[in-house]
A = this chain, B = another copy of it.
Amino acid sequence: MPLEPIFDVAHLGHVELLSDKPEASLHFFVNVLGLTESGREGDSVYLRAYDDYEFHTLKLTASNSTGMRHVGYRAASPQALERRVKAIERLGCGIGWSDGDLGHGPAYQFHDPDDHVFEIYYETRRYEAPEDQKPALKNQPQRFPARGVATRRLDHFNLLAVDVDAIRDFLPKALGSRVTEQIVLNDGSVGGCWFTVNNKSYDVAYTRDATGTRGRFHHITYAVDQREHILQAADIFLENGVHIETGPHKHAIQQTFFLYVYEPAGNRVEVANAGARLILAPDWQTVTWGEEERKKGQAWGLKTIESFHTHGTPPAKPG
- Over the window 216-254 of chain A, the binary record of Cβ atoms lying under 8 Å from chain B Cβ atoms (1 yes, 0 no) is 000000011111110110111111010010111110111
B181 touching A53, Cβ below 8 Å: no
| Shortest distance from the beta carbon of A200 to any chain B beta carbon, whole Å | 7
Q: Kindly identify which residue among B228, B239, B244, B299 contacts A146, using a CB–CB cutoff of 8 Å.
A: B239
* Closest Cβ–Cβ distance, residue A148 to chain B (whole Å): 5
Whole-angstrom distance between the Cβ of A183 and the nearest chain B Cβ: 12
A18-26, A64-72, A93-101, A134-142: which one contacts chain B? A134-142
Q: Is the interface of A mostly helix, strand, loop or mixed?
A: loop
Q: Could you tell me the distance between the alpha carbons of A208 and B90 in the complex, rounded to whole angstroms?
A: 51
B223→A226 contact, CB < 8 A:
no
Complex copy number for this chain: 4
Known A138-B287, A153-B276, A275-B152; contact A238-B299, beta-carbon cutoff 8 A: yes
A76 touches B236 (CB 8 A): no
B10 touches A300 (CB 8 A): no
- A254-290 contacts to B, CB under 8 A, are 254-255, 257, 259, 273-278, 280-282, 287, 289
Given A1-B79, A239-B143, A226 contacting B224 (CB threshold 8 A): no
Contacting pair A51 B199 (CB below 8 A): no
- In this assembly, does A39 line the interface, its C-beta being within 8 Å of a C-beta of chain B? no
Contact yes or no, B239 A136, CB < 8 A: yes
Q: Is A149 an interface residue (CB 8 A)?
A: yes
Closest B residue to A74 using CB positions: B282
Tell whether, in the assembled complex, residue A77 and residue B155 are in contact, meaning their CB atoms are under 8 Å apart. Answer: no
Q: Please tell me if the beta carbons of A275 and B226 are within 8 angstroms of each other in the complex.
A: yes
A284: nearest chain-B partner, CB-CB? B53
Residues of B within 8 A of A118 (CB): none
Within residues 153 to 206 of chain A, which ones have a CB less than 8 A from any CB in chain B? Answer: 153, 155, 181, 198-200
Chain B CB within 8 A of A105 CB: no
| A residues apposed to B, CB below 8 Å | 1-2, 4-5, 7, 10-11, 32, 34, 51, 53, 74-80, 135-140, 143-144, 146-149, 152-153, 155, 181, 198-200, 223-229, 231-232, 234-239, 241, 244, 246-250, 252-255, 257, 259, 273-278, 280-282, 287, 289, 299-302
24 A-B pairs in the complex with CB atoms less than 8 angstroms apart: A1-B78, A2-B78, A4-B76, A4-B77, A4-B80, A5-B7, A10-B280, A11-B280, A51-B276, A53-B280, A138-B289, A139-B252, A144-B239, A146-B232, A152-B275, A199-B200, A199-B278, A225-B275, A225-B276, A225-B277, A226-B228, A227-B231, A244-B301, A247-B300
User: 6 closest A-B pairs (Cβ-Cβ)?
Assistant: A225-B275, A7-B7, A199-B199, A223-B276, A10-B282, A11-B280
